[in-house]
């Protein structure tokens, strides 16, 4: 199981990175990404702390913990620079908080996140076909999420992605101890989004490919 979309107490999660890692290990994870929420006020603090946490004992045998960042509620014109800044500070991957229906995300955020070449556009809501096509061209993964509220448009995201050839990812967007999902539970969420068995396996292949790219240093 590879899940790059989780949160610790360094933003609005309930768990220390070490406990999040332990719970992921017990859940059967192979790769855990901790992608705490950042904007320009806290990126210089959050990302280095995650880097240190991931380098200082959160890894169990068979589990790799990777530091990331989720650019969240930043005005679209400021997203590209913040994605770049997070990577400069050591984030191995960057997620942009997409235009979910559950929150008042600024219009244009999906487009800005894709143009910034974030690794994943999280819960992109009613993403336009044009933006999804751009994601396909630039290799940005569109997330199918297990998070309540954000998951309302999973079926729509999957449908548009299939129509334009965009690749999908899966993320739990975990904030609480019970939010992590096993591989079997993740498969159920993806099937519920209208994907076939083969398409579900393709999502996991996409995550594996992204992990290998990140592991190789992009």
What is the residue-averaged pLDDT of the chain? 97
Q: How many CB atoms lie within 10 A of CB 139?
A: 14
Structure confidence at residue 60 (pLDDT) = 84
Q: Please indicate, yes or no, whether the overall pTM of this predicted structure exceeds 0.85.
A: yes
CATH number for the domain harbouring residue 128? 3.20.20.140
Separation of alpha carbons 103 and 109, rounded Å = 12
* Residue numbers of the domain that contains 171: 2-215
Structure confidence at residue 56 (pLDDT) = 84
Averaged pLDDT for residues 140-162? 98
CB contact at 8 A, 101 and 147: no
Which residue is it, tokens 């990404």?
33
How much of the chain exceeds pLDDT 70, in percent? Answer: 99
Helical ranges in the chain per DSSP H: 17-27, 43-55, 79-88, 109-115, 129-138, 154-164, 183-192, 197-215
Instruction: Give pLDDT tens digits for 13-58.
Output: 999 999 999 999 999 999 999 999 999 999 999 999 999 999 886 7
Q: Please give the tally of structural domains in the chain.
A: 1
CB contact at 8 A, 144 and 203: yes
Structure confidence at residue 218 (pLDDT) = 64
Structure confidence at residue 217 (pLDDT) = 81
Averaged pLDDT for residues 153-172? 98
Q: Please calculate the CA angle 155-160-162 and round it to the nearest 5 degrees.
A: 95
Separation of alpha carbons 192 and 175, rounded Å = 22
Structure confidence at residue 71 (pLDDT) = 98
Which residue is it, tokens 């942009």?
96
Question: Is residue 2 over pLDDT 80?
Answer: yes
Instruction: Give pLDDT tens digits for 71-82.
Output: 999 999 999 999
Question: Is residue 187 over pLDDT 80?
Answer: yes
Q: Which has the closest alpha carbon to 173: 135, 120, 218? A: 120
SS3 42: coil
Instruction: Give pLDDT tens digits for 105-137.
Output: 999 999 999 999 999 999 999 999 999 999 999
């Amino acid at each position: 199981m590879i899940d790059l979309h989780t949160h610790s107490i360094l933003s609005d999660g309930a768990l220390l990175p070490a406990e999040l890692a332990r719970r992921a290990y017990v859940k059967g994870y192979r790769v855990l990404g901790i992608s705490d929420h950042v904007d320009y006020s806290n990126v210089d603090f959050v990302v280095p702390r995650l880097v240190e946490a991931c380098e200082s004992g959160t890894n169990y045998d068979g589990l790799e913990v990777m530091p990331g960042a989720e650019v969240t509620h930043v005005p679209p014109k400021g997203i590209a620079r913040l994605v770049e800044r997070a990577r400069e500070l050591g984030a191995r991957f960057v997620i942009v908080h997409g235009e979910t229906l559950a929150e008042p995300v600024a219009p244009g955020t999906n487009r800005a996140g894709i143009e910034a070449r974030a690794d994943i556009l999280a819960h992109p809501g009613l993403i336009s076909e044009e933006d999804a096509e751009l994601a396909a061209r630039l290799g940005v993964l569109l997330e199918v999420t297990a998070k309540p509220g954000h998951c309302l448009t999973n079926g729509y995201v999957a449908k548009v992605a299939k129509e334009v050839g965009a690749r999908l990812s899966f993320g739990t967007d975990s904030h609480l101890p019970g939010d992590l999902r096993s591989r079997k539970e993740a498969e159920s969420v993806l099937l519920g989004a209208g994907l076939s068995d083969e398409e579900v396996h393709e999502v996991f292949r996409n995550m594996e490919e992204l992990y290998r790219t990140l592991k190789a240093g992009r």
